[in-house]
Structure 1
Amino acid sequence: MIRHVTGLRYMPPWPADRSYRHFSNERGLTDREIALVAKWVEDGMPEGNKNDKPELPQFPDHSQLGTPDLVLKMPEPYHIPGDNTDHFIVMKIPYELERDTFIRLIEFVPGNRELLHHMNGHLISYNPDKKTHVNEGMMAVDQENGEIEPTRIHHLLGLLQDDGSYPALTTSVCNYLPGVIPPEYPAGIGGYRMSRKGALYINNMHYGPSALDTSDQSYFNIFFADSPPKRPINEVIMGTLGISDIEPPLIIEPDKVQKFTTRLEVITDLSLITINPHMHLLGKSFLAYAVKPDGDTIPLIRIPQWDFKWQYFYTFKKLLKIPTGSVIVAEGVYDNTKDNPYNPFDPPRRVGERNISMRTTDEMFQFIITYVPYQAGDENVSLESPEAAGFVR
């Protein structure tokens, strides 16, 4: 079995084409490593020199990164009904501290790994003089597949300040797909300010279909920093729910294989950190690159065979400069035929985007980029570390 799955490059999973772009902490095996595994199996899988055997790594309980300074947990388990449908939940986890502080990174720990598909987490910072009770309002609201207006959800959760104004919001402080490890970047890159009164705002928490009633009580590990962030990380989303249009509009006709493109012009020099391609079950392949003003191409990522089950946050080996005037291009190919074994519909039916919350059986074409404004010498800043790549299953 080991020889078979490594020979097919099914394990360890690494969908990105390494002949197109290398990333930090790649999981794939080289041809030589695959051959070594095959020979080891053929030789009867002999044990190596016991003196060379490393000690098993020791991990703290409930974290892959160490002992957190603060743990924020769902106040109570969230009930997931066994109705065989997707559920998209908007939730808050409020907190109060003695004083303002700074965050180095946030680790999300899922309580129900079988059903929890993804989570997008943001940080709410209240003006302490304008928010008396951070715990007022509901803890969670089922979006009902996007049928409830966002402003209605905000009021139900009690997110607004006492005078009706909106608090400060820092977006995408923690995102999750199954198996993700939050990347830890070099000193000075990333981090957040944490008000003494605030909340983690989870928008949205996607639970897959279940035939049985169950529950989830996930939590966040917060790791503090001694000083404010010098270079806060920015995020841009292309395509679905993003700032760039999809051409043609994302509607995949039945019995068709179709290609879609989205483009974004860069208006200032950027240093890219991490990229995250995203499609659903009809995805077939994904390609992204940047075209510089002089016509040269900067390869970003190529995934020849898209697999919805294996999605990653890909971190570059070093900060990657994209100069002003470049155009970032993402191309997605979708297979809505009976030959696609992951097609959720038989016979195939018309599929597209749907409202704010996307069910697994709907489609998305998204390219998420994290970056910092370029500074001289960024090309030499290494992003390699044990935690630099966000590994996702």
Structure 2
Amino acid sequence: MSKSKYYYSFFLFLFIIINSCKETPKQILDSGINDYALYDEKGELHRFSYYNNSKAIVLYVQGNGCPIVRNSLKEYNEIASIYSEKGFAFFMINSNIQDNRNNILIESKKYNFTIPVLIDSAQLIANELDINITSEIIILTPTTREIIYRGPINDRLNFESQKNIVTNNYLSNTLDLIIDDDLSKIKSEHAKGCKITRLSKINSKKIITYTKDIAPILIDHCVKCHVEGGIAPWAMTDYNEILGWSEMIKQVLLSKRMPPWKADPEIGEFQNSFAIEDSNVRKITTWIDNNLPYGIGEDILANVIPINENWEHGIPDKIITLKEEIIPASGLIPYRYQQIKVNITEDKWLKGVEIKPGNKNIVHHIVLSNKENSDKSNIVSRKLSPWTDNFIALAGGADQVTFFPKNTGVFIPKGTILNIQIHYTPSGAVESDQTEIGFYFYSKKPKKTLKSLSTSNYSFEIPPFGKNVIIKAEDLITENIKIHYIIPHMHYRGKSIKFKVQYPSGNIETLVSLPDYNFNWQWFYKLKKPISIPKGSKIIVEGVFDNTFQNPFNPDPSKKLIYGVQSTDEMLIGFFNYTLD
């Protein structure tokens, strides 16, 4: 054997051995308790359970303007750079009521923050972890989020003074003890920093009650789904029901799993938002912690009218009943497709659509689109997709009705054939569904024609166990348009998604950002005011995918993913409705 062949064989063998020794990621069993979620200064959402594969979660209490914080940042960054390689997750957390995302971002740029700052200005997590001072380190166990250590980084800094030499490296010593699994030797210390004004002291005399404070919040943000006949597994019918579910309510609020409106609260305004403000979350959690006082007056939840089977906007002008679908008790259900002919004797303009699933237990979502592109005008140079670029309506979650913006309508010519795509999820029993679709027409042509487009990427690959895989899709817009509604869409590996516009000037604006994307919740994001998009602008859809065990919805992290229509495949689509401007 020649030397070159020998070396080739040797290094090939070495490569195979090294790669075969790589540890395959394993699923971590998480307790599900103390699972908090906060946005950082850049608008990314961090749920603590996502980091349950770390050795520990390290928090440093940051506060704008605090000298001790500013003087210790360099040391914290240095420790984080070393120990993040050893499996620790590092964050800062800001619980100051006077700080917000914008001024924290300014502070981070000025002082070169390299670690995300979790924003807790409503002090939801400060209440849970008893945060009262900045410059304090809090270390949490990764799967139960219990406190292992709290105290300073080291003993170098004091009020208005600092030493040149560190004699006690509290943080790095504690991290070493965690690595050595020698937790019994960990000892908490008193930290020195800037006092944090606690809302609990400011509002200490205010009594929060169910009748005056809590029930109205639940009606505004929760009863949309948690109503008799709704899609939620239980209904908020009265005080006693809330009492029984109170600890679960607190848990899903602190983890931001509920309510399931996924848009970043600081980007865009939406007419159909049911997002809950952190101040109201604080009211609910404080009320629960204070033994849930009832108050005075009637129980307004008891007066909520159950959802009935009537059409929400009255009897439609035309009703089409789909053929019955039989759904097995378990397993992956391939999408079901049907085609329907809209038997109308003349061209019509559609005002809105209501899709009524026959069985809400098993219908995940339904998409209605034109079979062919009846309108040949176009705002992009590429070939149109038969259904994604011509969708009409979506029914998903609690949204079954799609009514179009005022004075706009979708053109439905005589003889139109529509595509129906239905995604079913098994319930544990064999069930059937027969969905109805109601069409509402204008009596005359509206002022504007509403059209749809989907900025999509059909050529991508997500590797097995791939984490934070960024994929983009783009469309160059060739006409002046106004965007009204947006539907960002991915499947189970989707982690976050943004819908952006790059204007001809080069400036980029984010119209919708979903930092906590969840395939189980499909919503129209209906802009309060339509956005004018000039000719020459670019639509950019940017998705982040997580094909790891840290994604709790991932059916199989070992699978390589490409574009596909099944939910176990992947997609990156930014649907939007527009009118010509």
| TM-score calculated relative to the size of structure 1 | 0.72
Q: 1:250 to 1:39 in 2, by over 3 A?
A: same
- Give structure 2 stretches of 5+ with no counterpart: 1-246, 373-385
Q: 1:34 to 1:82 in 2, by over 3 A?
A: closer
Larger mean CA deviation between 260-269 and 111-120 belongs to: 111-120
The Cα of 1:117 is off from its aligned counterpart by: 2.7
SS of the residue corresponding to residue 36 of structure 1 reads: helix
- Give structure 1 stretches of 5+ with no counterpart: 126-150, 152-169, 242-248, 375-393
Partner of 1:287: 498
Q: Is the 8 A contact 1:277 1:366 kept in 2?
A: yes
Q: Give distance in 1, aligned partners of 2:532 and 2:342.
A: 38
Q: Does 1:369 align with 2:576?
A: yes
Q: Which digits, 9 at most, give the CA deviation of each residue in 1:222-258, with x for residues without a partner?
A: 22322123211111111146xxxxxxx3211112221
Q: Which digits, 9 at most, give the CA deviation of each residue in 1:176-205, with x for residues without a partner?
A: 22322434344311243463x555x23422
Q: Does 1:18 align with 2:273?
A: no
Larger mean CA deviation between 208-217 and 323-332 belongs to: 208-217
Match of 1:216 among 430, 433, 446: 433
Which amino acid is the alignment partner of residue 351 of structure 1? L
Give the RMSD, CA atoms, in angstroms: 3.0
Equivalences for 1:182-331 in 2 at 5 Å?
182-193=401-412, 195=414, 199=417, 201-208=418-425, 212-240=429-457, 249-257=459-467, 258-331=469-542
Which amino acid is the alignment partner of residue 392 of structure 2? V
The Cα of 1:350 is off from its aligned counterpart by: 0.9
Partner of 1:132: none
Larger mean CA deviation between 269-278 and 178-187 belongs to: 178-187
Q: Give distance in 2, aligned partners of 1:4 and 1:89.
A: 36
The Cα of 1:88 is off from its aligned counterpart by: 2.4
Q: 1:372 to 1:48 in 2, by over 3 A?
A: farther
Larger mean CA deviation between 211-220 and 262-271 belongs to: 211-220
Q: 1:71 to 1:29 in 2, by over 3 A?
A: same
Partner of 1:178: 397
Q: 1:52 to 1:344 in 2, by over 3 A?
A: closer
Q: 1:320 to 1:229 in 2, by over 3 A?
A: same
Partner of 2:23: none
Q: Give distance in 2, aligned partners of 1:9 and 1:115.
A: 25
Partner of 1:66: 314
Q: Which digits, 9 at most, give the CA deviation of each residue in 1:278-314, with x for residues without a partner?
A: 1111112212211212222222122222222223211
Q: Give distance in 1, aligned partners of 2:405 and 2:560.
A: 45
Q: Give distance in 2, aligned partners of 1:234 and 1:328.
A: 16
Q: 1:221 to 1:230 in 2, by over 3 A?
A: same
The Cα of 1:48 is off from its aligned counterpart by: 5.1
SS of the residue corresponding to residue 401 of structure 2 reads: coil
Q: Give distance in 2, aligned partners of 1:85 and 1:11.
A: 26
Which amino acid is the alignment partner of residue 373 of structure 1? L
Q: 1:5 to 1:290 in 2, by over 3 A?
A: same
Which amino acid is the alignment partner of residue 261 of structure 1? K
Q: 1:276 to 1:41 in 2, by over 3 A?
A: same
Q: Give distance in 2, aligned partners of 1:206 and 1:70.
A: 24
Q: Is the 8 A contact 2:268 2:511 kept in 1?
A: yes
Q: Is the 8 A contact 2:364 2:520 kept in 1?
A: no
Q: 1:209 to 1:316 in 2, by over 3 A?
A: same
Partner of 1:360: 567
Q: Give distance in 2, aligned partners of 1:52 and 1:338.
A: 43
Higher relative CO (Cα under 8 Å, sequence separation at least 6) belongs to 1
The Cα of 1:320 is off from its aligned counterpart by: 0.6
Which amino acid is the alignment partner of residue 312 of structure 1? W
Partner of 1:350: 560
Which amino acid is the alignment partner of residue 176 of structure 1? A
Partner of 1:90: 337
Partner of 1:164: none
The Cα of 1:221 is off from its aligned counterpart by: 1.6
Q: 1:4 to 1:332 in 2, by over 3 A?
A: same
SS of the residue corresponding to residue 505 of structure 2 reads: coil
SS of the residue corresponding to residue 521 of structure 2 reads: coil
Q: Is the 8 A contact 2:354 2:438 kept in 1?
A: yes
Q: Is the 8 A contact 2:371 2:419 kept in 1?
A: no
Q: Which digits, 9 at most, give the CA deviation of each residue in 1:323-349, with x for residues without a partner?
A: 222222111111122332222115x12
Q: Which has a greater percent of helix?
A: 2
| TM-score calculated relative to the size of structure 2 | 0.50
The Cα of 1:51 is off from its aligned counterpart by: 6.9
Q: Is the 8 A contact 2:351 2:404 kept in 1?
A: no
Match of 2:326 among 69, 79, 82: 79
Which amino acid is the alignment partner of residue 481 of structure 2? L
Partner of 2:357: 110
Q: Which has a greater percent of strand?
A: 1
Larger mean CA deviation between 98-107 and 262-271 belongs to: 98-107
Q: Which digits, 9 at most, give the CA deviation of each residue in 1:19-41, with x for residues without a partner?
A: 12232232111122122222333
Q: Which digits, 9 at most, give the CA deviation of each residue in 1:108-133, with x for residues without a partner?
A: 111132332332223579xxxxxxxx
Q: Which digits, 9 at most, give the CA deviation of each residue in 1:105-160, with x for residues without a partner?
A: 111111132332332223579xxxxxxxxxxxxxxxxxxxxxxxxx9xxxxxxxxx
Partner of 2:286: 39
